[in-house]
């Protein structure tokens, strides 16, 4: 049996492209309890000071996210950048069929030591996406990846959370899905930095771009604010990739100007701390069943119940 490797050994191996070591480190982070982080802290201390470009990709199921991720990996690898992908599945506590599909679509890169792909399940984890994925992103940064891609299906809270995590957030749409309208409803438009109309080989792509333009013209922007570009791609054929990569680079340059990137990093750190704090508080301050019953029966009001849980008798 192979000897157990110390965190320092694992980090050195992961930096050299050993994917099993990277996986091991991520597993340690994932399995840490909300209120206990001895080993995780040791690892965090070893991987300080990375600086990756974090790119979030969200959009409805089947819109082509994983196919685009695979194409983007190809583009960045061609530029000799090390790329890590976290495929987040917010709906499942396990890594299920959808992720299997992801693996198939990203299989081109399976043997490349400069690429690391991992599925992350967030349901059932205290703190949700921000807590689980935030730590993973930071670890990958510290392991000297140049780009960390976070793919998550655009359902519920996940797409808003991804924006707080990523430097640049891509919103993928496909023609004929009525996506433009859906996006407005969900407020996703606010969080996207780059729009991508994928499946441009299908009818309706021009209309989708027009819809997006019309929608954006309704939003007032100050001159110093970022204006989201609209890219069109055929991810399955690698079409439009160059323009998309350029748009992502441009947004990164815009962030890097002024204090915006540092501001984003601070906001990301704060979101992660809040998520973990939330989880830790829930563990520390469990709600007694008798107290819940008392509130349900109207004997105690909720505000008093909260004070009681916090041990605040004053």
Ligand X SMILES: Nc1nc2c(ncn2[C@@H]2O[C@H](COP(=O)(O)OP(=O)(O)OP(=O)(O)O)[C@@H](O)[C@H]2O)c(=O)[nH]1
Phi-psi bin for 250: left (phi > 0), alpha (psi -120 to 50), beta? alpha
Is 201 an interacting residue with respect to ligand X (CB under 6 A)?
yes
Is 199 an interacting residue with respect to Mg ion (CB under 5 A)?
no
Closest CA to 175 of 149, 159, 196: 196
User: Is the CB of 66 or the CB of 228 nearer to Mg ion?
Assistant: 66
Nearest residue to Mg ion, by Cβ distance, number only: 66
* Binding window for Mg ion (CB under 5 A); candidates: 102-110, 219-227, 232-240, 285-293: 102-110
Least separation in angstroms between CB 227 and ligand X: 24
* Binding window for ligand X (CB under 6 A); candidates: 25-33, 59-67, 133-141, 242-250: 59-67
Is 153 an interacting residue with respect to ligand X (CB under 6 A)?
yes
User: Is the CB of 13 or the CB of 233 nearer to ligand X?
Assistant: 233
Is 65 an interacting residue with respect to Mg ion (CB under 5 A)?
yes
Cα-Cα-Cα-Cα torsion 260, 129, 242, 60, nearest 10 degrees, comes to -120
Query: Which of residues 11, 13, 34, 105 is near ligand X by CB under 6 A?
Result: 105
Q: In whole angstroms, how far apart are CA 90 and each of 58, 161, 184, 233?
A: 12, 11, 21, 26
Q: Interior CA angle at 233 toward 228 and 234, to 5°?
A: 165
Query: Which of residues 34, 52, 63, 165 is near ligand X by CB under 6 A?
Result: 63
Structure tokens at 263: 């501001």
Least separation in angstroms between CB 71 and ligand X: 9
Residues forming beta bridges with residue 53, ordered by sequence position = 147
Q: Order the strands of the 147-153 sheet from edge to edge.
A: 115-121, 83-89, 147-153, 53-59, 168-173, 194-197, 230-232
User: Is the CB of 118 or the CB of 276 nearer to Mg ion?
Assistant: 118
250 alpha-carbon distance from chain centroid: 20
Is 56 an interacting residue with respect to ligand X (CB under 6 A)?
no
Burial of residue 168 (number of CB atoms within 10 Å: 0-12, 13-18, 19+): buried
Q: In whole angstroms, how far apart are CA 147 and each of 138, 142, 168, 257, 301?
A: 11, 11, 11, 19, 50
Neighbouring residues of 281: CB distance < 8 A, sequence distance ≥ 6? none
Is 92 an interacting residue with respect to ligand X (CB under 6 A)?
no
Is 108 an interacting residue with respect to ligand X (CB under 6 A)?
no
* Binding window for Mg ion (CB under 5 A); candidates: 46-54, 94-102, 228-236, 303-311: 94-102
Is 66 an interacting residue with respect to Mg ion (CB under 5 A)?
yes
User: Is the CB of 26 or the CB of 63 nearer to ligand X?
Assistant: 63
Interaction with ligand X in 162-191: which residues (CB under 6 A)? none
Closest CA to 106 of 161, 175, 57, 154: 57
* Strands 115-121 vs 194-197: parallel, antiparallel or unpaired: unpaired
Sign of CA dihedral 218, 223, 224, 230: positive
Q: What Rg, from alpha-carbon coordinates, does the chain have?
A: 21
User: Is the CB of 247 or the CB of 275 nearer to ligand X?
Assistant: 247
* Binding window for ligand X (CB under 6 A); candidates: 41-49, 60-68, 128-136, 207-215: 60-68
Least separation in angstroms between CB 85 and Mg ion: 10
Least separation in angstroms between CB 11 and Mg ion: 29
Name the residues that contact ligand X, by CB under 6 A. Answer: 59, 61-67, 98, 101, 105, 153, 198-199, 201-202, 234-236
Name the residues that contact Mg ion, by CB under 5 A. Answer: 65-66, 102
């Amino acid at each position: 049996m192979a000897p157990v490797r110390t965190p320092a050994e694992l980090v050195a191996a992961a930096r050299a492209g050993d994917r099993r070591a990277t996986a091991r480190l991520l597993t340690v982070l994932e399995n840490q309890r909300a209120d206990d982080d001895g080993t995780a802290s040791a690892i965090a201390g070893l991987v300080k000071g990375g600086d990756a470009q974090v790119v979030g990709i969200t959009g409805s199921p089947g819109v082509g996210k994983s196919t685009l991720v695979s194409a983007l990996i190809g583009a960045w690898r061609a530029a000799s950048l090390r790329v890590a992908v976290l495929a987040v599945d917010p709906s499942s506590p396990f890594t299920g069929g959808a992720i299997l599909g992801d693996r198939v679509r990203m299989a081109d890169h399976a043997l490349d030591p400069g690429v690391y792909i991992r599925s992350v399940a967030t349901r059932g984890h205290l703190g949700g996406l921000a807590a689980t994925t935030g730590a993973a992103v930071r670890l990958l940064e510290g392991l000297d990846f140049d780009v960390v891609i976070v793919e998550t299906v655009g359902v519920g809270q996940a797409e808003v959370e991804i924006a707080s995590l990523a430097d640049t957030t891509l919103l993928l749409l496909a023609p004929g899905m009525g996506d433009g309208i859906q996006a407005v409803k969900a407020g996703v438009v606010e969080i996207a930095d780059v729009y991508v109309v994928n499946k441009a080989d299908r009818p309706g792509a021009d209309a989708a771009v027009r819809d997006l333009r019309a929608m954006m013209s309704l939003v007032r922007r100050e001159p110093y604010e970022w204006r989201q570009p609209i890219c069109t791609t055929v991810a399955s054929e690698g079409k439009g990739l160059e323009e998309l990569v350029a748009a992502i680079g441009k947004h990164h340059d815009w962030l890097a100007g002024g204090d915006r990137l540092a501001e984003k990093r601070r906001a990301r750190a704060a979101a992660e701390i809040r998520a973990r704090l939330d989880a830790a508080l829930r563990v520390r301050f469990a709600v007694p069943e008798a107290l819940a019953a008392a509130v349900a029966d109207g004997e105690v009001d909720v505000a008093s119940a909260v004070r009681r849980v916090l041990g605040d008798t004053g």
